[in-house]
Amino acid sequence: MDQVDPVDKLLRRQIKLFEHAHRTPIELKGFGLAMKQEGIDKSKLYCNPDFLLLPLRECPHLSKLRPEQLSVLTAYYFARAYSEIATSESVALRYNMEASAAVFPLYSDNYMVLFHETAEEFDHIITFRNVCQALLGRGDVIGGDFFPHLKAVPAMLERYRGKLCANGFGAMYLLMRYILNLALKQLEGFMTAGLDEKVASPLALQIVAGHAEDEARHLTTSLELGLGLFRRATPRSRELISGAMRITMYSMIDKRFSGDAAATWNFETGLGVLQRALQHPEFADFPLRAEELRGLWASEGIAIPASAEFERSRRWIAGQLHRLAESMELALTPQGEAFERYLACARGTSSSSEDTARRA
């Protein structure tokens, strides 16, 4: 029987998708530049405030935020999300080409699939730099110094250089990119979910939609090409990759599926953004600083609710991790409530998002 190699099949599809996407150029730079000119449009929201892990309804002070203040808060969250995404893409740039050159003949169609994706990553970084300039007033918030967990990735990949066969190096890079993409896709895919178009910044929605379309292809390349190369790798390389992926997945499960998501996520996401927003002139009359707000929530027992959008994003991540573990035949066996919650999310037996959202 005529068997088509799964890697060839994936690359054939990605070439077709690329050609389809670029028959009409879809650069995002224009949206970033338009946003840079516009600055924060205080009559609009840049993401769904409910996605931020903040007690926006429960806290007596946050519940009184004016629409302009909410706009600034969501704009800061949007910019923070894309500064992290751009940082991740800056890591991808170099390793994309290295992984491609390790596996494919120079300038072959297969090599060019990853080259095209690299070119798109450049477009995104330029766009997001402009987004940060527009919303935060500075574009230099992209890079490992701002996101230490991403700074560690190149060093980690370097440790495996020379220890893996060519297919193994490609697989390691692409599967790691897939895991990082998962974390970022949940940000992008769900932060505007449920946001009424009438109150949303049209530029923000265009950037999310345009980037999500490119990243859909990148996510697929990472997973399917990564898995294909993993299967082609030597047994020793597969063993090393499996070990690294297990550690990465455990760490992600610990962070994302702990009972009190806010405790592990909050400073980096909602509260970190709120802290910045409180420095904005629009918040000049806000009576408390971030630390005082935290103290108030603690003393009055105000819990930080995980919104329906946040729970949906967790279920999505759990499903993707579960599928990856199955595809790589990785047995994940840690104990603990975070792991149990991850399994429940992955199997679709977790409590409904609405119940979780109401717990505050």
Interface residues with another protein (CB under 8 A) are 9, 12-13, 16-17, 20, 189, 212-213, 215-217, 219-220, 223-224, 312, 315-316, 319-320, 323, 348
User: How many residues would you count in the chain?
Assistant: 360
Closest distance of CB 332 from another protein, Å: 18
- CA neighbours within 13 Å on the CB side: how many for 95? 25
Closest distance of CB 307 from another protein, Å: 13
Are the C-beta atoms of 21 and 217 separated by less than 8 Å? Answer: yes
21 or 290: CB nearest another protein: 21
Residue 99, Ramachandran bin (φ over 0: left; ψ between -120 and 50: alpha; else beta): alpha
213 or 239: CB nearest another protein: 213
137 or 194: CB nearest another protein: 194
Closest distance of CB 188 from another protein, Å: 11
CB neighbourhood size of 39 (10 A): 12
132 or 245: CB nearest another protein: 245
Q: Name the burial class of residue 264, with classes exposed (0-12), middle (13-18) and buried (19+) by CB atoms within 10 angstroms of its CB.
A: middle
84 or 309: CB nearest another protein: 309
Closest distance of CB 336 from another protein, Å: 23
Residue 254 Cα distances to 162, 247, 335, angstroms: 30, 11, 10
- Using DSSP, state whether 265 is helix, strand or coil: helix
Closest distance of CB 217 from another protein, Å: 5
189 or 305: CB nearest another protein: 189
Are the C-beta atoms of 263 and 43 separated by less than 8 Å? Answer: no
Two structure tokens written together for 30: 């224009």
Cα–Cα distance between 124 and 28 in angstroms, integer?
7
For residue 358, give the nearest of 316, 313, 303, 296 by alpha carbon: 303
Closest distance of CB 306 from another protein, Å: 16
Two structure tokens written together for 205: 């929605």
219 or 328: CB nearest another protein: 219
Closest distance of CB 344 from another protein, Å: 11
DSSP state of 49: G
